[in-house]
Structure 1
Amino acid sequence: MKPIRLLLAWIVSIAAVSAADTSPRERISFNNGWRFTKDDPLAVGEALNYERIKDWVLPTGDELLNYKHPAQRVRRPDGNPAGDVTYTRAAFDDSKWRSLDLPHDWGIEGPFQQNLDGETGKLPWFGTAWYRKKFDVPASDAGRNVYLEIDGAMSYAMVWINGQFVGGWPYGYSSWRVDLTPHLKPGAENVVAIRLDNPRESSRWYPGGGIYRNVWLLKTSPIQVAQWGVFVTTPTITRDAASVDVGVTLDNKTAARAEVKVGVKLFAADAYGKPVGDAVVSGEERQVRVEPARQANVSHTLRVASPKLWGLKERNRYVAETTVSHEGKVVDRVLTPFGIRSIEHTADDGFLLNGERVQLYGVCNHHDLGALGAAINTRALERQLEILREMGGNAIRTSHNPPAPELLELCDRMGFLVMDEPFDCWAMGKKRDDYGRVFHDWHEKDLRAMMRRDRNHPSVIQWSIGNEVREQFEPDGWKLAAHLAAIVREEDSSRPVVGGFNNIQSGFNGFQRVVDVVGYNYKPSEYAPLRKRHPHVMQMGAETASTLSTRGEYFFPISDDKLEGRSDFQMSSHDLSAARWAHTPDTEWRGLDENPFVMGEFVWTGFDYLGEPTPYNADATNLMNYANPVDRERAAKELAELGKILVPSRSSYFGIIDIAGFPKDRYYLYQARWRPELKMAYILPHWNWPDRVGEITPVFVYSSGDEAELFLNGKSQGRRKRGALEYRFRWNEVKYEPGELKVVVYKNGAVWAENVKRTTGAAAKLTLTPDRATLRADGQDLSFVTVTVADKDGLMIPRAKNALKFTLTGPGEILATDNGDPTSFESFQSPERKAFNGLALVIVRTKAGEAGAITLKATGEGLAPAEVALKSE
């Protein structure tokens, strides 16, 4: 029977090519119309334990590995795991399951539970869940290859189509695909079922749960460009011309040898990476032979005259159009946006973009979107980047995992540089069931998948191989680093290999020889010693600061002890507190200014995020891990206090911006440094202290100027000049009296900027301010509406915590609310929320296909209500 089967396969393959000749690839959103349940059929959990069925899962993505011979590839065993489980069967009645659209994060729906781990946000993100979707496949798709592409699913995903197991992927942050073709039924209804399983002890922060990124259905000819199979580099760039190398990997899914022609054209791209106008240049078609069930490579080198470069201000891009023809007909066409730009990392002059020094003003960010959880939303990401850009930020570290594809597209479009990072741990894990559990089986696929997916983004300037891995402290740990670095260089030699190291010795114990850039975490004092011993090693602050603060909270007396400034499970916003291993921004900046060869920093973090509420983690190991007895005694007292009341924190205190997207005071400290040309001045704290009349209430000013004079009710409090390696103005002896604080800032002797902060009146009204008033009626677009508790003159009441209610009319919905308070346990989906220090946030989402006027109204007891008009079109 085997020869007959092979013959039938060959006949089907030839027919497939014919059927697909007139239909190049088609990529369709597969997000809508899913059914969901958060449970497992009886006794299924153990049967589908990853360790028991990993032999069936491991072949997924096997084509990413560079085998010398196809026979070396992993083959799926016979059998159909869970084929007898009701949830996988096409005929199963899932009508009672919840109906929803993707992306979806079940964890963010809550409820918050005090008995859950504060380290991961006290939300129920763990456990097992199933998604099912019924969909029709046109009869005309017979002969095409059909893939399910998943940008991210948390985690241990397993996929069945029409009851047949087709693959899976453990790592929740990776993008991957499975081939549905062998079990698809063209001209009929099909059912895909996906099981996810989040181990409870698998994350150090809130990871989310569910199919939380976008999902796609890809249809191609069996002779096709491989997944992420186009790689564009620009090895030579001058003012007059740029050489553009386009490498193409072809995949022949048929049982017959194929002679194909591959052509490449380059187009200018619009702001969204789409081709415009006529081709800038066309390459000659190249003929290539692809053996059956094999891949083949072909490359083109093209010359672009007078190239327009991609940079932080001018984000010019191009598009490579790759066309594959077989027997005179086009069988595949792929569009690949890219940028022409040069990057250089140096030991003496830092980072160069297009030949010019660019200091990295970067932030680290986790992937959650605050009140929206892990579920990806492009507008929410765009808003984050807008806020960071206004601060002066120009770089993102994807901490500590592959990002959503949408983030990199936004960075290309908006002008941000990216350190792309795959792992938080290697084989030596940090949690019982974290990535270390599958590292040996999956690290190469995960790393190659991230790189191939992301390598054409001009925003990506570095490949990280990991963060604070425990192997740093092992004598032979560098050998594993060398293995990973070799994979990176095999995939892409145009960008350097970096690592985030929290072990001082990582600059001296062999790691510095296998990475291209040593990224120190919280080690500003180590830049100079490493430079002295290894002057040719390139350095960077891969993770800096970890300063702690809560927006609008101030505690007195002020202490410069970084372990002080804590009260009522909040952190003072004087920006002098930091985690035990960390520093204030001032300390990090002194390290950078004293060592100008360092290429910049990535601050921990840009935004507050769910989980990791340091220093209020209910974790004895975390609290007791102090270096000296005095600190240990303090930690013991904290731990005793936490034992009396369950830790109330749901989110971090690290952010320069709070979890709702409201800037903290620290935002303006960074803005003063990162935008030195901006004429700005910022005063803190607020000036509403009726209980402190006559008491010393220090005043800080953040400014890009070099000298400042402070006035209280018209009386000078003294003129201060910032000295070398000083980054803020301080008046430590100001005695509080209500009224007006005013600062006049000078630069080079001339007035540079002024600012005023006043004591407010009583809370009288609400104001609503949307970040955007006109939205797309696509069911995804968002407006972030700031709610302010104000006095009669419109000044924010800085200590207001009024209970508020929100209602909406028109073709939209209140998707979430928040206030930035890390101790708030009000549901993110609730239309009622207390203001926190004068502010709250309402996130409004449009309804798909429904245009019209939307009105959001806010009310609060004793306050004049407010409403704002939005428009969906």
Structure 2
Amino acid sequence: MLNVNWNSDWLFSKSEINIFDPTANGGDVETVHLPHDAMILEKRTEDTKNKHQTGFYPGGIYYYNKNFFVPEDWASKTAIVEFEGVYTNARIFVNGDFAGGCKNGYKTFSICLDEFLKYGQENTIKVVVNNSMEQNSRWYSGSGIYRPVHLHLANLTHIELHGVKIDTPEVSKNVATVLVRTKINHQEKLTKKVLLKTTIFDSNAEKVNEIITPVTLFGFTSEIFSQRFVIKNPQLWDVETPHLYHAKIEIVEGTELLDSSTENFGIRSLSLDSEEGLKLNGKPTKLRGACIHHDNGVIGAATFADAEERRVKQLKEAGFNSIRSSHHPISKSMLEACDRYGMLVLDELSDMWTRSKNINDYSNDFLENWESDVEALVEKDYNHPSVIMYITGNEIQEAGTPKGAKLNRDIHSKFKVLDPSRYTTSAINGLIAAMDKMGEIMAHIMGVSLEELAAQQAQAQEANNSGEGSDQANSMQNILRGPLADAFAVDSILSETLEEFTAATDVAGYNYLTARHEIEHDSHPNRVVLGTETFPVDIAKLWRIVEENSHVIGDMTWTGYDYLGEAGIGIFYYDGRMGFMPNWQSSVAYIGDIDITGFRRPISYYREIVFGLRKAPFIAVERLNRKGQTPNQTAWMWKDNIASWTWNGFEGEVTNVDVLSNSPTIELFLNGRSLGQKATGEREEYIATYEVPYEKGELLAVSYDSAGNETGRDYLVTADKASQVSVDISKSILRNNSEDLAYLDISLVDDSGLFNNQDSKIVNVEVTGAGTLQGFGSANPEIISHYQDNSCETFDGKVLAVIRAGQELGNIFVKIQAEGFATKEVEIEVKSIC
């Protein structure tokens, strides 16, 4: 089956496009190349009903048209268009006739074009995207055809789309069995005899085995053919050495090649039990996990392969070995990147089932579509060795009901029928699942009657109304974290409420129910537990539980990478505002270990140290410009700190300096003077805090083992006033496919090249030549500028520009200028994709 990239030259408009005269739209029509996020181009407004959930971005109705010529010989072929993701409520028309659609904005779906085409002439496909119903997402969703589109063209005898499934049922160090199942569709009346030829190549492109099977294809049938291979001395796929094989499948009639397909796969085995936990190729493996959303920061939800690969690479470098796609199916591009980099994947079906979290969300359509959604998810994931687990749902409100438990069993069973080799879980939030029993549970925990509890709550509410006590958000956080949270997590009423739902899947997935992780083995010795969503600040406690309990297979922090929408969950508000509220202009969650520009925050290094992966210490300084101010914080937040010793104007002011280390002892030096040794390591939760008066110069942290030998060092040096911009570019050569990206990390530095994150400048970017500016912005969670503007103020001394190649050959010229600084020029070559 010929796979044609169908991403170029679409007409886009916010109103119906006149296919005969696009100019009739009054200049509203433009030519775009996919992937295309229409929401990131919208003007953010304070009065949108989406509010902070989508970062104050509104949705809309969008029209995409593509004209394409259909040769006469297509009449003897079949043509299928595949959409990897359209948000949302997509309706597809071919030559004016309705051809199909998809209500799920994260689902890969395809449309057969055959009955709609006009041969030997121009044809038109129109995609109508309706994201006008506000309050349909709890995060930034994006809008439009935000993932790639493919045209598949095949002979009447062909391998079906997603018709090759590869399993590795037996794996050992010396030999592995590979089972290749190929579904062949024969759309002709006459019986045909063909050869099914499958060749397997290793990661070095060396041929390792081949099977040629004669098969008879009967008229108008679709049949699956199996071929079983033995691979000697297999190169196993794992997180350290992600070796990939590929299988080339061909249908041959005589000397004619009727169809072919190439599929990448990995040879690896999985096992799971409560005694030895999760094992990959027989090796115990703990999930150092990150939850992630699907947007790509300053470029919005547009799914570029370069953007997905960059995130996976950065997460892997930060110490993660697994990601949870929250709360929707992951993109194909990210799966491919995870395969290449050795990142394990937990792919998630949906954020809701039949009970809504937003009035216009997918709960309105889930019940009638979930089976086909599961089928599409498995189809997409099947041959990817990175995928180890499916998640049936996130924080499902029905989890405490018999009907909810039954639906969980049904979804689990559907996954198992389609893919018995992988495991299932569901991300359970006890607060949400037991909301109607909260009064009963709290009274049970506190040892009072429901009446007494009601009286106490009324008294607390009265104090709150008079300005005393906590507000509602703080009250909820008291339940989410601390002793009360632990008591809630293990309460017998909650346990009984969740029991049937939890038993439906292979793994008990818990969101913010940490106290259950360790004790589950006592009451359920066969149960495997995973922290599917946890607070970043609890990583030291959480990882101890993971390491000490074989039945606890890992931890997934919320969240590994920052994202648009859910704005304010992690923002340090010093002006009295509360997080998780509609605080205009907040656009970013600001809760990732890595910010939206790809810069690692101190908690990322803290996590890497807790994991035991970083031997050197790390210095983090609480912001001196916030000294004496107290922020409002949500339960997801850690400290407002930064790796900087540049605080000009704050000489003599005392600040807290945290030295993070997994060594037993550290010593901090200021300009060569020792500030003393302190204990660190696990007993101190890997942190030693010093009160240090600011003076220019150098902060140096040295770590020591128990014998007093140095194990590592980290230092911060005061920068002089910023005098120039420094540019670090990810690629200097791009392909002319309108899909390659170059990332330009732009930072302020002094005369010696030392990074200065205290100074602030408006940076302007001008792009000319064979490319365009795809996105430009900073990690500022309350950014005022638009991510498509060509000017932006630095945040902590940095901004990020993303450059997109065009379709013309030549060079892209990027001029970067900050007021008072010399202009920096960057040149990127655009070469042919051939």
Residue 680 of structure 1: how far off its partner (Å): 4.9
Separation in 1, partners of 2:607, 2:682: 17
Taking the aligned partners of 2:758 and 2:201, their CA distance within structure 1 comes to 52
Residue pair 2:617, 2:702 contacting (<8 A) in 1 also: no
2:723 to 764, 770, 780: 764
Shift of 1:410: 1.0
Gaps of 5+ in 1: 1-24, 41-85, 548-582, 618-622, 624-633
Aligned positions of 1:92-491 closer than 5 A: 96=27, 97-116=29-48, 117-198=50-131, 199-254=133-188, 256=189, 258-261=191-194, 263-270=196-203, 276-278=205-207, 280-290=208-218, 292=220, 294-325=221-252, 330-491=257-418
Structure-1 residue corresponding to 2:588? 651
For the pair 1:745 / 2:679, whether they are aligned, the reply is: no
Residues 425-824 of structure 1: matches in 2 within 5 Å? 425-503=352-430, 504=489, 505=494, 508-545=498-535, 547=536, 583-615=537-569, 638=577, 647-674=584-611, 676=613, 678-685=615-622, 686-690=644-648, 692-748=650-706, 749-824=708-783
> For 1:502 and 1:423, how far apart are their aligned partners in 2?
14
Q: Is the 8 A contact 1:174 1:402 kept in 2?
A: yes
After TM superposition, give the deviation of residue 28 of structure 1 in Å. Answer: 0.5
State the 1:325 CA deviation.
Answer: 5.0
Establish whether residue 838 from structure 1 lines up as the match of residue 797 from structure 2. yes
Distance 1:470 1:326, change over 3 A: farther
Shift of 1:392: 1.5
Counterpart residue number, 1:851:
810
For 2:169 and 2:330, how far apart are their aligned partners in 1?
26
Whichever residue aligns with residue 807 of structure 1, its letter is: E
**Contact (CA 8 Å) 1:360, 1:601: kept in 2 or not?**
yes
Distance 1:195 1:475, change over 3 A: same
Q: Mark the runs of 5 or more structure 2 residues left unpaired by the alignment.
A: 431-488, 623-643
In 1, Cα distance between the equivalents of 2:524 and 2:58?
A: 45
For residues 827-873 of structure 1, the C-alpha deviation after alignment (integer angstroms, 9 at most, x for no partner) is 11111110111111121222323133x44332222334433444333
Moved more, 338-347 or 607-616: 607-616
Residue 2 of structure 2 aligns with an amino acid whose one-letter code is: E
Instruction: Classify 1:542/1:754 alpha carbon distance in 2 versus 1 (closer, same or farther; 3 Å).
Output: same
Q: Percent identity?
A: 29
- 1:318-353, Cα deviation, whole Å (9 max, x unpaired): 222333356885433222221111111221232211
Paired with 1:742 and 1:725, the residues of 2 have a C-alpha distance of 23
Q: CA–CA distance in 2 between the matches of 1:175 and 1:663?
A: 32
**CA distance in 2: counterparts of 1:506 and 1:327, whole angstroms:** 64
CA distance 1:160–1:90, change in 2 (3 Å): farther
Q: CA deviation at 1:813?
A: 2.7
SS of the aligned residue for 2:552 comes to coil
The one-letter code matched in structure 1 to 2:361 is: D
- Once the two structures are TM-superposed, the CA of residue 810 in structure 1 deviates from its matched residue by 4.1
1:310, distance to aligned residue in structure 2 (A):
1.3
TM-score, normalization: structure 2? 0.84
- Between the aligned partners of 1:346 and 1:682, the Cα distance in structure 2 is 39
SS of structure 2 residue aligned to 1:112: coil
Q: Distance in 2 between matches of 1:860 and 1:91?
A: 43
Provide the C-alpha distance between the structure 1 equivalents of 2:579 and 2:165, rounded to a whole number of angstroms: 56
Q: Give the drift of 1:798.
A: 2.3
2:23 matches 1:38 = no
1:234 maps to a residue whose letter is T
> Given that residues 683 and 699 in structure 1 are in contact (C-alpha distance below 8 angstroms), is that contact kept between their aligned partners in structure 2?
yes
d(CA) in 2 for partners of 1:268, 1:727: 47
C-alpha contact 1:699 1:734 (8 A) present in aligned 2: yes
Alignment check: 8 A CA contact 1:707 1:747 kept: yes
Mark the CA change 1:777 to 1:324 in structure 2 (over 3 Å): closer, same or farther. closer
- Whether the aligned pair in 1 keeps the contact of 2:763 and 2:792 (CA below 8 Å) is yes
Change (3 A) 1:859 1:143: same
CA distance change for structure 1 residues 252 and 642 in 2, over 3 Å: closer, same or farther? closer
**Matches for 1:12-91 after TM superposition, within 5 Å:** 25-39=1-15
Q: Is the 8 A contact 2:14 2:63 kept in 1?
A: yes
Letter matched to residue 241 of structure 1: V
Residue 463 of structure 2: aligned partner = none
Taking structure 1 as reference, are residues 844 and 524 closer, same or farther at Cα in structure 2, changes over 3 Å only? same
2:216 & 2:566 partners in 1: Cα distance? 53
Distance 1:308 1:331 in 2: 31
Check whether the contact 1:35–1:94 (CA below 8 A) recurs between aligned residues: no
Counterpart of 1:527 in 2: which secondary structure? helix
CA separation in 2, counterparts of 1:868 and 1:403? 33
SS of match in other structure, 2:225: strand
Between 678-687 and 445-454, report the one with greater CA deviation. Answer: 678-687
Cα distance in 1, alignment partners of residues 720 and 429 from structure 2: 48
Classify 1:525/1:692 alpha carbon distance in 2 versus 1 (closer, same or farther; 3 Å): farther
| Structure 1 pair 834–231 and aligned structure 2 pair: CA distance change class (3 A) | same
Contact 2:744 2:800 in 1 (8 A): yes
Letter in 2 for 1:107: M
User: 2:476 — aligned with what?
Assistant: none
Shift of 1:136: 0.4
Contact persistence 2:662–2:682 (CA under 8 A): no
Matched residue of 1:833: which SS?
A: strand
Offset of residue 239 of structure 1:
2.5
Q: 1:825 to 1:537 in 2, by over 3 A?
A: same
Which residue number corresponds to residue 449 of structure 2? none
CA contact (8 A) 2:615 2:711 kept: no
Match of 2:596, SS?
coil
Cα shift at 1:93: 7.4
The root-mean-square deviation of aligned C-alpha atoms, in Å, is 2.8
The one-letter code matched in structure 2 to 1:829 is: Q
Change in 2 beyond 3 A, CA 1:307/1:707: same
How many equivalent pairs are there? 742
Range with bigger deviation, 477-486 or 497-506:
497-506
Q: For residues 644-696 of structure 1, give each alpha carbon's deviation from its aligned partner in whole angstroms, at most 9, with x where no partner exists.
A: xx522101121001111111111211222335264453443422345654443
Hey, what's the Cα distance between the residues in 1 that align with 2:731 and 2:705?
A: 35
Alpha-carbon spacing, 1:807–1:506, altered in 2? closer, same or farther (3 Å): farther
Select between 737-746 and 173-182 the one with higher mean Cα deviation: 737-746
Q: Is the deviation greater in 363-372 or in 729-738?
A: 729-738
Q: 1:506 to 1:376 in 2, by over 3 A?
A: farther
